[in-house]
Structure 1
Amino acid sequence: MQKQSAISYWDYIRVEELLGLQGGIPRDDAKVSNDEVLFITVHQVFELWFKLVLRELVTARNLFQAERVAEQQLSGAVKSLQRACSVLRIANQHWEVMETLNTREFLAFRDKLFPASGFQSAQLRQIEILFGLSMDQRIPLGLEGGYMAALRSHDGAPSPALARVQKQLEDRPSLRDAIDEWLFRTPIDGSDPRQKDDERCVRAFLENYLVAHARETDATSEHAASIARTAEDGERIAKRYADEKAQVRAFFTPSAAEGGFKRARIRAAMLFIETYRELPLLAWPREVLDSLVALEQFLVIFRQRHARMVERVIGRRTGTGGSAGVDYLDKTALEYRIFRDLWAIRTLQIRRAAAPELSNAAFYDFRNS
């Protein structure tokens, strides 16, 4: 084995190269203001954080692609998801640094940025694609050629950003798709899809749960209506709870276009894990679901903080890339949701004591791992 030569911190981290990247268009720190160096540095740090998030999401996605995901592998997936959460939590705080720029300080160099845009961050687009955002979910930029055209060079030539995103689009499945397949295979009250009577078992579990949910909802509705200020308010409250019960039942009976029984089973698996999360073999699955919700929440916060930073610094003017600026950013924060079913499950849960008993709870003891 060849002996490694001694290495220094600055060589390993490549400090000099790194510190030479904040010179802006002239490639010279001495020719740009402190404000512009701040702007460049914060965005470069974002790109480094995005690189870490991408690596962790790929690792988690790859683990969930296995036909059978062992407990030890789930712990690794949770570690990757939680690390991505930690990175985004810190990244969200970086908008505070950007907000140290006041409007006139930013306007002093903003014209240099035209027609560049934060939308051209290929890595953020990669994160969205890998997470599970589909092309038809994207908010229109309002520019000729749309989403992919914005990633080309100004003369229309292919760019490194376009190549990255195209490669990501080809890298399937997304994390959401891999999670869906894993959830579909998850045993529900001891039954898995390989068993002939699995659909009957799943539907029986759901029906028992829906009965328990209706009982809880009715009790809450009666109490809320009884203390309403007026009889009319009581009627409105009762109707609202009745509508809620109907929505819950509809959620677990998706149409063929939504995915039929396969989607119903995936939703049932989410509900099962959340409802019986204290069972030993559901310890890591529940951490997976919690981590996914936390990760999506950090992505939503990232977009919201971006929008508020932009509004605070330059208001609602048109973006340098020609987008609607803050209005566009706000729409992405509201509409870019990937794990909608996981969020919906929070609305459908009931008290632990009210949950129906399982017929095969022993299946989830450690001895069956």
Structure 2
Amino acid sequence: MACPFFTDERLKDGQNGGTLDGEGNEDTPCMSYRNYLQLDQLLDCVKPTSEMFGKELVHDEHLFIITHQAYELWFKQIIFELDSVRKLFSSEAIDENRMLRITSRLNRIVVILKLLVDQIVILETMAPLDFMEFRRYLSSASGFQSVQFRVIENKLGVKNEHRVNFSKEKYITVFPDKKSIDMILQSEEEPSLCCLVQKWLERTPGLEKDGFNFWKKFEDSVQAQIETLKTQIELETNERIKEELKTEHSQKKETFEGLFDIERHNAFVARGERRFSHRALQGALMVSLYREEPRFNQPFHILTQLTDIDACITKWRYNHVLMVQRMIGSHKLGTGGSSGYWYLRSTLSDRYKVFVDLCNLSQFLIPACYIPPLTPQMKYRLSIKEESKRSE
């Protein structure tokens, strides 16, 4: 099928008679490309302040406005996709069709975020001196006031206690209108994607203690690996290699003790170093280790996409920090009253990574030879869509 907008010459000229796909239908109202996209309203939104309040238009302000408006349009699409994914995750049972929709929509979010990262390059075609020509007209307007970006953060799962306060104030105080505040408060109250993913991972087949009991088998395998390393140390005669093995043994023991001890795990969560519940982390690790099993294939892709979302947002923040430093330097205040560069730089830490547990999951992976083998019953269970009724 040809491009839906231009298959009928009359539509290009804005004339009556025909639908968007060029097929006449008396019951279908006439629609032109311009009207369908509401281009008159959309394009009329570009109103440079320098032209309104200054003597003449500052050329680069036009680019500045369009770039940020494009960001907001993509933010709207990300929210739309996030809401649909959250709804799919809200179900107790997620069948294969839903899994495909989840991976497809999460992938779309990742692709959009990659586009937003690259879009900063367009703003960088603007010289700092050109930006200064119209910056004074921005008054207190700041990107910090993007309601949609805050909603995205909340819907993903950024918690208030992990945020860096804006000019010693909570982030919501910069929004003076009730509509914006209501949108943000609602996004805080709704179950975040992070919470829904945790509940989903907690239901990972194979975690049941009266079944396959993955966690006990995994812990036994790790202990066997640590004991093997201890034996290597005792047998090693080269002092340099022996010291390296001792360091590796100490680090591995400390790492896995912090994983298996639920009280230490909860302490990590309390400090903001981890986000997932202990059981959700177990599920994520099991999916990663047995990702080649048919039933875990798509869940593994979902975990990868969630990690990519965190990575893309972090890259976007980082590129934004570099651009701000280039445009106004490190010590000039932001237009909204923040510390500018230093505030933005503080948002690059792990406290803003919603799926930080997935990002750090690789430190708990073990060599393939130590991965607990699946029982025939568990192998069968992971090879079909529905759970097997066979006992483990």
Q: Assess same fold via TM > 0.5.
A: yes
Matches for 1:316-355 after TM superposition, within 5 Å: 316=330, 317-334=332-349, 335-355=351-371
Q: Are positions 1:304 and 2:329 aligned together?
A: no
Give the drift of 1:5: 1.9
Give yes or no for contact 1:212–1:356 (8 Å, CA) kept in 2. no
Give yes or no for contact 1:254–1:263 (8 Å, CA) kept in 2. no
Partner Cα separation in structure 2 for residue 226 and residue 64 of structure 1: 55
Partner Cα separation in structure 2 for residue 148 and residue 234 of structure 1: 55
Q: Are positions 1:48 and 2:73 aligned together?
A: yes
Partner Cα separation in structure 1 for residue 181 and residue 92 of structure 2: 33
Tell me the residue number matched to 1:83. 108
Tell me the residue number matched to 1:167. 186
Give yes or no for contact 1:206–1:268 (8 Å, CA) kept in 2. no
Partner Cα separation in structure 1 for residue 228 and residue 129 of structure 2: 57
Give the drift of 1:248: 1.9
Give the drift of 1:2: 7.2
1:74-132 CA deviation, whole Å, 9 max, x = no partner?
11111111000000101111111111111111111111112121110011100100000
1:183-213 CA deviation, whole Å, 9 max, x = no partner?
001112xx54xxx736x92442332342355
Q: Are positions 1:177 and 2:195 aligned together?
A: yes
Tell me the residue number matched to 1:119. 144
Give the drift of 1:33: 2.2
What is the one-letter code of the residue matched to 1:160? K
Q: Secondary structure at the match of 2:48?
A: coil
Matches for 1:248-327 after TM superposition, within 5 Å: 248-255=256-263, 257=266, 263-316=277-330, 317-327=332-342
Partner Cα separation in structure 2 for residue 45 and residue 237 of structure 1: 53
What is the one-letter code of the residue matched to 1:150? V
Q: Percent identity?
A: 27
Pick closer, same or farther for the CA change 1:84–1:239 going to 2, 3 Å.
same
Give yes or no for contact 2:218–2:371 (8 Å, CA) kept in 1. no
Tell me the residue number matched to 1:139. 164
Partner Cα separation in structure 2 for residue 213 and residue 57 of structure 1: 41
Give the drift of 1:28: 6.2
Partner Cα separation in structure 2 for residue 28 and residue 16 of structure 1: 20
Partner Cα separation in structure 1 for residue 230 and residue 289 of structure 2: 19
Give the drift of 1:6: 2.2
Which deviates the most, 243-252 or 210-219? 210-219
Give yes or no for contact 1:117–1:320 (8 Å, CA) kept in 2. yes
Pick closer, same or farther for the CA change 1:368–1:62 going to 2, 3 Å.
closer
Give yes or no for contact 1:21–1:27 (8 Å, CA) kept in 2. no
Which deviates the most, 336-345 or 296-305? 336-345
Matches for 1:24-103 after TM superposition, within 5 Å: 24-25=48-49, 32-103=57-128
**Matched residues, number:** 349
Give the drift of 1:159: 4.4
Q: CA RMSD in A?
A: 2.9
Q: Which runs of 5+ in 1 are unaligned?
A: 153-157
Tell me the residue number matched to 1:361. 379
Pick closer, same or farther for the CA change 1:236–1:354 going to 2, 3 Å.
closer
Q: Are positions 1:151 and 2:175 aligned together?
A: yes
Which deviates the most, 129-138 or 17-26? 17-26
Tell me the residue number matched to 2:273. none
Give yes or no for contact 1:99–1:309 (8 Å, CA) kept in 2. yes
Partner Cα separation in structure 2 for residue 147 and residue 355 of structure 1: 45
- Which structure exhibits the higher relative contact order, with contacts defined as CA atoms closer than 8 Å and separated by 6 or more residues? 1
Pick closer, same or farther for the CA change 1:304–1:203 going to 2, 3 Å.
same
Pick closer, same or farther for the CA change 1:93–1:215 going to 2, 3 Å.
farther
Tell me the residue number matched to 2:10. none
Give the drift of 1:299: 0.8
Q: Secondary structure at the match of 1:333?
A: coil
Q: Are positions 1:187 and 2:205 aligned together?
A: yes
